[in-house]
Amino acid sequence: MNPTRRTVIGGAIAVAAASSVTLPASAASTRLSNLAHLDFLRASVTPPATPGHTTFGSGPVGVLWTYADRQPDGSYKRIGGGSYDASTNTYGQGAFNADDIARAAVVYLRHWKQFHETASLDAARGLLRSLTFLQSGSGNVVLWMQPDGTLNPSADPVELPDPSDSGPSYWLARTVWALGEGYAVFRKTDRAFASFLRDRLELAIGALERQVLVRYGQYNVVDGRRLPAWLIVNGADATSEAVLGLSAYVEVGGSPRARRALTQFANGIAAMAAGSTREWPFRALMPWGESISDWHAWGAQMPSALAAASHALGSRKLLAPALGDAAGFTPLLMTAGGPDNGWLPVPIDRTQIAYGVDARLQGVLSVGLKHVAAFVAAWYFGANRAGQPMYDAGTGRTYDGISGDGTINRNSGAESSIHGQLSMLALDAHPDVARLTGTPSYDGLQIVEAESGSGGQVVTPPSAWTGESQWSNGSYLSLDGTATWTVPASSQPRLVLPVVNLIDTPTPARTTWTAGSRGLGTLTHVCGPQGISAAAGALLPLTLGNPLPAGATSLTAKSQGTAQLDALLLLPTVSSLRIGDAVLLASVDTHARVVSVSGKHSYSYDPSGKLVARGNASRALVVPGGFTVVLG
């Protein structure tokens, strides 16, 4: 990456109020969504009679192949998951799975709502019929089905829970998503089928009440923090997908128990907000209730779920954490290199996949941040690390991902196809989101490995994964003394966030940080009790009180006691992402700034996502903790 530098002029500016903005129309007037590849992944099967498993009506049910591998001639081959046994025509996992069937049903349901094509409604019906066949009498769901329709409750490799219908799961959450949106659609087109879907949804809600919501109001301790104990599989990510379905159901008059479950799950997700405008993870909604150090992109639909719940329940308080995630964290994620898969807590997993991109896109659109949506959506159209489109509107294919080095995985399996289509449907529904193309350039979060410093001792643990987070570069610096790092220069001040391993101890290490003669602050490397987390201690970035001055090229730390240092994160006070003539600026400053950027129009937003100014792009206002979009 070649960072694009911006000149910060400085100075507080009086802000003119503004309440709305008209975005430029998309360059394309044609429909982006194309179900051709998803249709290619579909099949039908007649499952053998299976005790405890039934569905609506008779005849074959609709299913979806899990993977589609690109062949040397450019065609695609549909395959299942796990090792294949030709003699039995079975896979170690299966050919079709509830996760993808549920989410594909959502695609066809939303496609029907937007375009009213009968084929989409028929496809959704078939998929919902197979999904409900996978549901057991307990309300839980078997994950895998073999090519002949036989269920495979215990997969190889093992899924948890095992058997897959023995407890709450991601696939139960996604089943609730599909059933909720399915009922909302079919209640107007087929009342008998809608009644069946409602009964199955209530069965699933009953399972969640017994297995998860029985803990409502209880909290787990995770390295000294209290996190809600009533999230599905301890995940705000899984829970967010159930909340999308419950919101759709409640919107159209769902039961009191559904409204209660929605309220409780939404409250749990909202409690996962963390950080501040200057403290990691910068107001993100954290996805995993067993770690305060792990943010991942896949499944992180918490902001859009809270926005949906807010509307369904008439509760504006749920919007605040959704806006914090969408207006605070997402712009910083985008300026740091785009929609990477994992900040663990250092941005280690630089893979980028449609599942994570779609979650970001749905999140910003759900709270009305269409300007930011344009920068997220641009990933599909070539503004990414590979510099090539990841979505082909002519075939409906979304490729399976981009690696950290920019290599494209040109397979196009169910998950990528599903979330690509969900994104395209969202963009079709919002034609005023600008279509941005071009090679992106970034000036955002930078990583300096702690092991690159002079002083201390490099330690390489047996595994980079701690059980709840990950050591950057697989090692860390053990420091009991002084260490100095050379850092790249910048034309503006930067926040310094040393990533340190905090320990629950009465005698923690302390590190004092300087840049030349300037003191930056002192950190105490301590956290609270371990609780349910998998590892003692917490690997976390901590913000130093004073920023690194512009032009500074070295940092020094002096430790009292033995400190474990993973990396140094350097965050410009105003980060930027440029795509063509469009620029996204994200602030972690404490003062308003005016930034010189080429372009015609600028739109300035405060930390809550409210548009507070618009003006000439040559003097673009960036408010403290907010973001600004400049369009050419």
| 566 & 607 share domain | no
Residue 285 falls within a domain, yes or no? no
Q: Determine how many CB atoms are found less than 10 A away from the CB of residue 535.
A: 16
Residue 71 falls within a domain, yes or no? no
**Strand partners for 347:** 343
| 530 & 464 share domain | yes
Question: Mapping DSSP to helix (H, G, I), strand (E, B) and coil, where does residue 463 land?
Answer: coil
pLDDT at 221: 98
How big is the CA angle at 358 (ends 116 and 424), to the nearest 5 degrees? 35
The secondary structure element, H or E, covering residue 402 is strand 401-402
Q: What is the 3-state secondary structure (H, E, C) of 91-132?
A: ECCECEEHHHHHHHHHHHHHHHHHHCCHHHHHHHHHHHHHHH
Last residue of one domain, picked from the residues 571, 590, 609: 571
Q: Give the count of domains, the chain.
A: 2
| 529 & 610 share domain | no
Q: Which residues of 142-174 are buried (b: 16+ CB within 10 A; e: fewer)?
A: bbbbbbebbbbbebeeebebebbbbbbbbbbbb
Residue 193 falls within a domain, yes or no? no
Q: Which residues of the chain have pLDDT under 50?
A: 1-28
Last residue of one domain, picked from the residues 571, 587, 604: 571
| 564 & 463 share domain | yes
Residue 480 falls within a domain, yes or no? yes
| 450 & 537 share domain | yes
| Joined tokens for residue 503 | 């320990």
Last residue of one domain, picked from the residues 571, 590, 615: 571
Residue 464's CATH number: 2.60.120.260
Give pTM, 2 decimals: 0.94
| 507 & 472 share domain | yes
Residue 354 falls within a domain, yes or no? no
pLDDT at 88: 97
Q: Compute the distance between CA of residue 545 and CA of residue 497 in angstroms, rounded to an integer.
A: 10
pLDDT at 597: 86
| 566 & 584 share domain | no
Q: Which of 125, 152, 164 is nearest to 48 (CA)?
A: 152
| 494 & 512 share domain | yes
Residue 408 falls within a domain, yes or no? no
Residue ranges of E strands in 195-339 = 219-222, 225-228, 295-296
For residues 570 and 448, is the Cβ–Cβ distance under 8 A? yes
| 464 & 541 share domain | yes
| 495 & 553 share domain | yes
Range of the structural domain that residue 17 is part of: 7-22+573-631
350 burial type by CB count under 10 A (0-12 exposed, 13-18 middle, 19+ buried): middle
| 544 & 592 share domain | no
Residue 499 falls within a domain, yes or no? yes
Q: Determine how many CB atoms are found less than 10 A away from the CB of residue 232.
A: 26
| Joined tokens for residue 621 | 């206002």
What type of residue sits at position 503?
Answer: I
Q: Compute the distance between CA of residue 278 and CA of residue 542 in angstroms, rounded to an integer.
A: 10
| 531 & 515 share domain | yes
Q: How far is CA 144 from the centre of its chain?
A: 25
Question: What would the DSSP string read from start to end of 28-97?
Answer: --S-----HHHHHHEEEE-PPPBTTB--SSSS-EEEEBSEEEEPTTS-EEEE-BS-EETTTTEESSBSEE
Which residue's structure tokens are 């100095």? 484
Residue 152 falls within a domain, yes or no? no
Q: Compute the distance between CA of residue 393 and CA of residue 32 in angstroms, rounded to an integer.
A: 6
Q: Determine how many CB atoms are found less than 10 A away from the CB of residue 276.
A: 16
Q: Which residues of 506-532 are buried (b: 16+ CB within 10 A; e: fewer)?
A: eebbebbbbbeeeebbebebbbeebbe
